[in-house]
Amino acid sequence: MHTLTHFRLCPFSRAARLALAELNIEVELVEERPWEWRPEFLAVNPAGELPVLQMEGAEIPLCGIYAISEFLAEDSAPVQEDGDADEPFPLLPGDRAQRAEVRRLIDWFNGKFNREVTHELLQEKVYNRLQPHAAGTPDVDFLRAIRTNLRYHMSYISYLADRRRWLGGEELSFADLAAAAHLSSVDYLGEVPWEEFAVAKVWYARLKSRRAFRTILADRVPGALPAAHYADLDF
């Protein structure tokens, strides 16, 4: 069976899980704590980054969300007539220009959004607490800056969702999955101000109600319980 080495709140791991679920590819999940830097894991991926997808029978593991998403995109199914249906769909749909736009947004969320929001929130509110020598309480001023960054990104998501059926265009794509993966990690912590961004909330609710999202919503991290509305489809 294929195996995915992941951490439950890692947004890149969640993006891979969403893509695999949308493509109906079953995997065994193996949890790895990214801050531990275990030699056994570094032997598989010297970068020490998650996720890692080991396809059954393959010699080379797929390390990192970029390699995994591009690999899966090459095998994804033809476009469905109804992009809202829970059927396999191409992760990178459209012509060259449309695929370039999807990739731009993927880079936005896995790069800019992660640097300015997801990584910092997880570090402050989760990773620091789960490490053997746990740090003190989160820095209030730092959290305030992260929340300001988040509102900027939420405004951009709202802008895209208001003008397009999906973030990358008329078809559901990996750009939506990447964005939703990051937002789901942030929402687990109760940090998304949904009441301020109604358009983004509607877009996210459409993704949240998809079958692929079920295991994401079932995630629980010991010592870091989710916000009360996290798994609620009518949030």
pLDDT digits (tens, 9 = 90+) for 116-161: 999 999 999 999 888 877 667 888 999 999 999 999 999 999 999 9
| 86 in a structural domain | no
* Residue 47 and residue 101 in one domain: no
One domain, residues 129 and 60? no
Does residue 111 sit in the same domain as residue 37? no
234 phi, psi to nearest 5 deg: -110, 70
Q: Is residue 164 part of a domain?
A: yes
| Alpha carbon distance 25, 52 (integer Å) | 15
Q: Which domain holds residue 140?
A: 96-218
In a domain, 225, yes or no: no
Is residue 166 a contact partner of residue 79, using CB atoms and an 8 Å limit?
no
Are 63 and 107 contained in the same domain? no
C-beta of residue 61 within 8 angstroms of C-beta of residue 52: yes
Q: Say which CATH number the domain at 39 has.
A: 3.40.30.10
Could you tell me if 77 and 71 are in contact, meaning their C-beta atoms sit under 8 angstroms apart?
no
Task: Note whether 28 and 2 are within 8 A (CB).
Answer: yes
Same domain, 107 and 210: yes
* 43 and 116 part of one domain: no
Question: Phi and psi of 86, rounded to 5°?
Answer: -80, 65
Q: What are phi and psi of 169, to 5 degrees?
A: 150, -150
Q: Which of 198, 196, 194 is nearest to 232 (CA)?
A: 194
**Based on the domain organization, do 139 and 183 belong to the same domain?**
yes
In a domain, 88, yes or no: no
Mean pLDDT confidence for 30-39? 94
Q: Is residue 177 part of a domain?
A: yes
110, 169: one domain: yes
Instruction: Give the pair of three-digit tokens for residue 39.
Output: 């030699």
Task: Indicate the number of domains in the chain.
Answer: 2
Residue 82 has pLDDT above 50, yes or no: no
Instruction: Please say whether the beta carbons of 104 and 92 come within 8 A.
Output: no
Hey, what are 159's tokens?
Answer: 């802008």
Give residue 131's pLDDT.
Answer: 80
Burial pattern 35-72, b for ≥16 Cβ within 10 A else e, equals: eeeeeebeeebeeeebbbbbbeeeeebbbbbeebbbeb
Domain for residue 228, yes or no? Answer: no
| One domain for residues 47 and 161 | no
Same domain for 110 and 187? Answer: yes
Domain co-membership, 6 together with 58: yes
83 assigned to some structural domain: no
% of the chain with per-residue pLDDT over 70: 93
Query: Is 29 within a domain?
Result: yes
Q: Name the pLDDT band for 47 (thresholds 50, 70, 90).
A: very high
- For the chain, report the end-to-end CA distance as a whole number of angstroms: 35
Same structural domain, 69 and 172: no
Q: What are phi and psi of 135, to 5 degrees?
A: -75, 175
What integer is the mean pLDDT of 162-187? 98
* CATH code at position 207: 1.20.1050.10
